[in-house]
Amino acid sequence: MTAVAERPAETRAEAPIETRPVRVKIRRYVPELNPEPYWQTFEVHALPTDRVLNLLLDIKGYQDGSLTFRRSCAHGVCGSDAMRINGVNRLACKVLVKDMPDEITIEPIKGLPLEKDLVVDMEPFFEAYRSIKPFLITYGQPPTREHIQSQADRERFDDTTKCILCAACTTSCPVYWTDGQYFGPAAIVNAHRFIFDSRDEGTEERLEILNDREGVWRCRTTFNCTEACPRGIEVTQAIAEVKKALLYRRV
C-alpha cells in the first residue's frame, strides 16, 4: 500500500456543515497482487455537498494511496471519471453525497477490459468511435473564411456535439455488454453529430458503416444510454434519427 497523508486537524472542522459517515464499498482489482477483483469498504466522513469524486480523493489521500481511478477536470467536462455508482453509470464528479444513501458502491464501468481498480481499457471504445469517421468530410475547395451555416442548421445537431466521450452510455448498454462487435451508443452519437451537420458531405459513407450488421440495428431501445448520459444528450433519440436516415436515405 502506498503512503497516505495525515489528515490536517482543521480541514473538516472548518466546514460549517455537519459531516455524515458514509460507507464507500469499492470493487478493487490489483492484478499484480491478486488475480481476482475483490470488495473493500472505507468509511469517510462526508459533507452533503461533497461529490463521490471527493470521497475517492479522500480515500486515496488519507486511507489508501494505491486506490486508482481516472479524473481530470473534476466538474463534468473532460469525461474521465465515469463509473458505476450504486449500479448506475455516473461521473463521480457530478454525484453529490446528499443524494446518496449511507452505503455507496463503486465499480468500474462494464463491458471494457479491466486494468486496475476503477480503471478500464478505453481502447475498444475509442476504436468504435474512430470507425464511424468522426470528422468533417467535405469535397472541393475549403472556403477562404468560414463555411456559412444558419443558426437553424447549427441548432439541428447541437445536442450530439455535447458528447464528452466518457463511455457512460456505451458501457450501460446491455447489447454492448453481450456483443463485443456492436459500436455502442457513443459512436452513433458522434456519427449523428456529422450526419446532421449541414457542412458535412460524408453522409452516405457514414450511413453505410452504421448500416452494418453490428451497427445501429443492434440497438434495442432500452434507453439505458439516455439515462446514463451526464450531458443530458437524448442518445436514444439520436440513434432513432440515424435509423430513420438509413431507412429513408434522407437527412
Q: Considering only residues 195 through 234, tell me which ones interact with another protein, judged by CB under 8 A.
A: 197, 199-200
If one asks whether residue 8 binds another protein (CB under 8 A), the answer comes out as yes
DSSP H or E run through 152: helix 151-156
If one asks whether residue 19 binds another protein (CB under 8 A), the answer comes out as no
> What is the β-pairing status of strands 119-120 and 82-85?
unpaired
Match 445536442 to its residue by C-alpha cell: 159
If one asks whether residue 32 binds another protein (CB under 8 A), the answer comes out as yes
Taking CB under 8 A as the binding criterion, the range among 37-45, 142-150, 169-177, 216-224 that sits at the site for another protein is 142-150
If one asks whether residue 161 binds another protein (CB under 8 A), the answer comes out as yes
If one asks whether residue 5 binds another protein (CB under 8 A), the answer comes out as yes
Q: How far apart are CA 190 and CA 19, in angstroms?
A: 41
Neighbouring residues of 114: CB distance < 8 A, sequence distance ≥ 6: 29, 37, 108, 120, 121
**DSSP states along 101-145:** -SEEEEEPPSSS-EEETTEE--HHHHHHHHHT--S----SPPPSS
Site for another protein in 79-118 (CB under 8 A): 79-80, 94, 96, 115-117
If one asks whether residue 66 binds another protein (CB under 8 A), the answer comes out as yes
CB of 159 to another protein, least distance (A): 11
If one asks whether residue 27 binds another protein (CB under 8 A), the answer comes out as no
Which residue from 140, 142, 178, 247 is in contact with another protein, where contact means CB under 8 A?
142
If one asks whether residue 72 binds another protein (CB under 8 A), the answer comes out as yes
